[in-house]
Structure 1
Amino acid sequence: MFALGLGLLSLRFLPTLPPTGWLLALLVMALMLLPFRTYPLAFLLLGLSWACISAQWALDDRLRPALEGQTRWVEGRVVGLPQHTSTGVRFELADNRSRNARLPKRIRVSWHGGPPVNSGERWRLAVTLRRPSGLLNFHGFDYEAWLLAQRIGATGSVKDGQRLAPAHNAWRDSLRQRLSSVDALGREAGLAALVLGDGSGLATQDWQVLQDTGTVHLLVISGQHIGLLAGLIYGLVAGLARYGCWPRALPWLPWACGLAFAAALGYGLLAGFGVPVQRACVMVGLVLLWRLRFRHLGVWWPLLLALDGVLMLEPLASLQPGFWLSFAAVAVLVLAFGGRLGAWSLWQLWTRPQWLIAIGLFPVLLVLGLPISLSAPVANLFAVPWISLVVLPLALLGTALLVVPFVGEGLLWLAGGALEVLFRSLALLAGQRPAWIPVEVPLGYWAVSLAGAVLLLLPKGVPIRLLGWPMLLLAIFAPRQMVPHGQVEVTQLDVGQGQALILRTRHHTLLYDTGPRSGAFDLGARVVLPALRKLGVESLDMMVISHAHADHAGGAAAVALGLAVKRVVGAEADGLPVFLAIARCVSGEQWVWDGVSFELWQWPGATSSNPKSCVLRVQASGERLLLTGDIDRAAEQAFLASPLAVPTDWLQAPHHGSRSSSSWPFLAQLTPKSVLISRGRGNAFGHPHPQVMQRYQAVGSRVYDSAEQGAVRLQLGAYESPVVARSQRRFWREALP
Structure 2
Amino acid sequence: MTPTRIAVVITLPVLVFYALISGASTPTVRSLIMIFIYMLALFLGRKGQWLNSLSIAALIILLWNPKALFELSFQLSFIAVFSIGYVLEKRAEDSGQNAELQSLLVEGGTKGRSAGIKRMSEKVKTAMLITIAAVLGTAPIVALVFKQFPLISPVTNLIVTPLVCFVILPLGFVTGFGALLFNMSSMPLSSVTDAVTHLALKLIKWFSNIPYASYRVPDPSFAIIALYFLSLIFLMKSKFKWRFLPLVFVICFYLVSPYLSNNNLRVTFLDAGQGDAAVIELPDGKVMLVDGSKKEPDMGRIVIAPYLWSRGIRRVDYIVMSHPHPDHFGGLIYIMDNFDVGEIWFNGRRSYESLEFFQKIAKKNIPHRILARGDILKAKAYKIYALHPYDEFYADSPRARFSNQNSASLVLKIESNNASILFTGDIETEAEENLTRLGNWLKSDIIKVPHHGGRTSSSTGFIQTVSPQTAVISVGRNNPYKHPHPETLKRYEDEGVRVFRTDTNGAVTIISKANTYEVKTYGDSRLKKVSAWQDEVRNLRLLL
**TM beyond 0.5:** yes
Q: 1:480 aligns with which of 247, 258, 273?
A: 258
How far apart, in 1, do the equivalents of 2:147 and 2:45 lie?
A: 42
> Is it true that 1:428 corresponds to 2:179 in the alignment?
no
> Is it true that 1:398 corresponds to 2:175 in the alignment?
yes
Q: Which structure 2 residues correspond to residues 494-573 of structure 1 after superposition, within 5 A?
A: 494-505=271-282, 506-518=284-296, 521-571=297-347, 572-573=349-350
Residue 496 of structure 2 is matched in structure 1 by 700
Residue 102 of structure 2 is matched in structure 1 by none
Distance 1:395 1:731, change over 3 A: farther
Q: 1:341 aligns with which of 86, 91, 94?
A: 94
Q: Helix, strand or coil: the match of 1:491?
A: strand
Q: Helix, strand or coil: the match of 1:529?
A: helix
Residue 253 of structure 1 is matched in structure 2 by 4
> Is it true that 1:596 corresponds to 2:349 in the alignment?
no
Residue 218 of structure 2 is matched in structure 1 by 439
Residue 663 of structure 1 is matched in structure 2 by 459
How far apart, in 2, do the equivalents of 1:472 and 1:387 lie?
A: 35
What's the CA shift string for 1:122-142, capped at 9, x where partnerless?
Answer: xxxxxxxxxxxxxxxxxxxxx
How far apart, in 2, do the equivalents of 1:260 and 1:458 lie?
A: 38
What's the CA shift string for 1:191-212, capped at 9, x where partnerless?
Answer: xxxxxxxxxxxxxxxxxxxxxx
Q: Verify the 8 A CA contact 1:545 1:553 in the aligned structure 2.
A: yes
Residue 542 of structure 2 is matched in structure 1 by none
Residue 169 of structure 1 is matched in structure 2 by none
How far apart, in 2, do the equivalents of 1:528 and 1:732 lie?
A: 29
Residue 23 of structure 2 is matched in structure 1 by 272
Residue 360 of structure 2 is matched in structure 1 by 579
What's the CA shift string for 1:105-147, capped at 9, x where partnerless?
Answer: xxxxxxxxxxxxxxxxxxxxxxxxxxxxxxxxxxxxxxxxxxx
How far apart, in 1, do the equivalents of 2:190 and 2:147 lie?
A: 33
Q: Deviation at 1:514?
A: 0.8
Residue 673 of structure 1 is matched in structure 2 by 469
How far apart, in 1, do the equivalents of 2:216 and 2:67 lie?
A: 26
When the two chains are superposed, the root-mean-square deviation of aligned CA atoms in Å is 2.5
> Is it true that 1:419 corresponds to 2:197 in the alignment?
yes
Q: Which structure 2 residues correspond to residues 614-625 of structure 1 after superposition, within 5 A?
A: 614-625=410-421
Aligned residue pairs, count: 481
Q: Deviation at 1:708?
A: 0.7
Q: Deviation at 1:407?
A: 8.7
How far apart, in 2, do the equivalents of 1:279 and 1:462 lie?
A: 36
Q: Deviation at 1:472?
A: 5.3
Q: Deviation at 1:468?
A: 5.4
Q: Deviation at 1:464?
A: 4.6
Q: Helix, strand or coil: the match of 2:50?
A: coil
Q: Which structure 2 residues correspond to residues 83-162 of structure 1 after superposition, within 5 A?
A: none
Q: 2:231 aligns with which of 429, 446, 452?
A: 452
> Is it true that 1:611 corresponds to 2:387 in the alignment?
no
Deviates more, 1:529-538 or 1:342-351: 342-351
How far apart, in 1, do the equivalents of 2:291 and 2:267 lie?
A: 13
Distance 1:593 1:645, change over 3 A: closer
Q: 2:56 aligns with which of 302, 305, 308?
A: 305
Residue 470 of structure 1 is matched in structure 2 by 248
Alignment gaps of 5+ in structure 1: 1-249
Q: Deviation at 1:569?
A: 1.1
Letter in 2 for 1:384: T
Residue 167 of structure 1 is matched in structure 2 by none
Letter in 1 for 2:12: F
> Is it true that 1:689 corresponds to 2:466 in the alignment?
no
How far apart, in 1, do the equivalents of 2:62 and 2:341 lie?
A: 46
How far apart, in 1, do the equivalents of 2:431 and 2:317 lie?
A: 28
Letter in 1 for 2:524: S
Q: Helix, strand or coil: the match of 1:477?
A: helix
What's the CA shift string for 1:118-177, capped at 9, x where partnerless?
Answer: xxxxxxxxxxxxxxxxxxxxxxxxxxxxxxxxxxxxxxxxxxxxxxxxxxxxxxxxxxxx
Q: Deviation at 1:720?
A: 2.8
Residue 437 of structure 2 is matched in structure 1 by 641
Q: Verify the 8 A CA contact 2:147 2:216 in the aligned structure 1.
A: yes
Letter in 1 for 2:53: P
Distance 1:286 1:564, change over 3 A: same
Deviates more, 1:311-320 or 1:588-597: 588-597
Q: Verify the 8 A CA contact 1:449 1:475 in the aligned structure 2.
A: no
Q: Deviation at 1:372?
A: 2.1
Letter in 1 for 2:425: G
Letter in 2 for 1:266: F
> Is it true that 1:357 corresponds to 2:134 in the alignment?
yes
How far apart, in 2, do the equivalents of 1:475 and 1:271 lie?
A: 42
Q: Helix, strand or coil: the match of 2:415?
A: strand
Residue 156 of structure 2 is matched in structure 1 by 379
Q: Verify the 8 A CA contact 1:335 1:457 in the aligned structure 2.
A: no
Distance 1:405 1:264, change over 3 A: closer
Q: Helix, strand or coil: the match of 1:566?
A: strand
How far apart, in 2, do the equivalents of 1:267 and 1:633 lie?
A: 63
Q: Deviation at 1:647?
A: 2.5
Residue 78 of structure 1 is matched in structure 2 by none
Q: Helix, strand or coil: the match of 1:721?
A: strand
Q: Verify the 8 A CA contact 2:147 2:219 in the aligned structure 1.
A: no
How far apart, in 2, do the equivalents of 1:469 and 1:668 lie?
A: 56
Q: Helix, strand or coil: the match of 2:276?
A: coil
How far apart, in 2, do the equivalents of 1:632 and 1:440 lie?
A: 38
What's the CA shift string for 1:715-735, capped at 9, x where partnerless?
Answer: 1354233110112345799x9
How far apart, in 2, do the equivalents of 1:724 and 1:599 lie?
A: 27
Q: Verify the 8 A CA contact 2:443 2:465 in the aligned structure 1.
A: yes
How far apart, in 1, do the equivalents of 2:72 and 2:277 lie?
A: 26
How far apart, in 2, do the equivalents of 1:351 and 1:483 lie?
A: 38
Q: Higher RCO, 1 or 2 (CA under 8 Å, sep at least 6)?
A: 1
Q: Verify the 8 A CA contact 1:437 1:530 in the aligned structure 2.
A: no
Letter in 2 for 1:535: R
Q: Verify the 8 A CA contact 2:224 2:254 in the aligned structure 1.
A: no
- Judging by fraction of residues, say which structure has more helix: 2
Distance 1:367 1:517, change over 3 A: closer
Distance 1:291 1:462, change over 3 A: farther
How far apart, in 2, do the equivalents of 1:659 and 1:372 lie?
A: 46
Q: Deviation at 1:267?
A: 1.6
How far apart, in 1, do the equivalents of 2:42 and 2:134 lie?
A: 27
Q: Deviation at 1:297?
A: 0.9
Residue 84 of structure 1 is matched in structure 2 by none
Distance 1:373 1:358, change over 3 A: same
Q: Deviation at 1:474?
A: 3.2
Q: Helix, strand or coil: the match of 1:588?
A: coil
Q: Deviation at 1:367?
A: 4.9
How far apart, in 1, do the equivalents of 2:287 and 2:380 lie?
A: 11
Q: Helix, strand or coil: the match of 1:727?
A: helix
Distance 1:523 1:620, change over 3 A: same
Letter in 1 for 2:326: A
Q: Verify the 8 A CA contact 1:503 1:511 in the aligned structure 2.
A: yes
Letter in 2 for 1:422: A
How far apart, in 2, do the equivalents of 1:294 and 1:728 lie?
A: 52
Q: 1:626 aligns with which of 416, 422, 436?
A: 422
Q: Deviation at 1:479?
A: 2.5
Q: Which structure 2 residues correspond to residues 155-304 of structure 1 after superposition, within 5 A?
A: 252-304=3-55
How far apart, in 1, do the equivalents of 2:135 and 2:199 lie?
A: 24
Distance 1:609 1:423, change over 3 A: same
How far apart, in 2, do the equivalents of 1:436 and 1:442 lie?
A: 18
How far apart, in 1, do the equivalents of 2:278 and 2:486 lie?
A: 24
Q: Verify the 8 A CA contact 2:80 2:133 in the aligned structure 1.
A: no
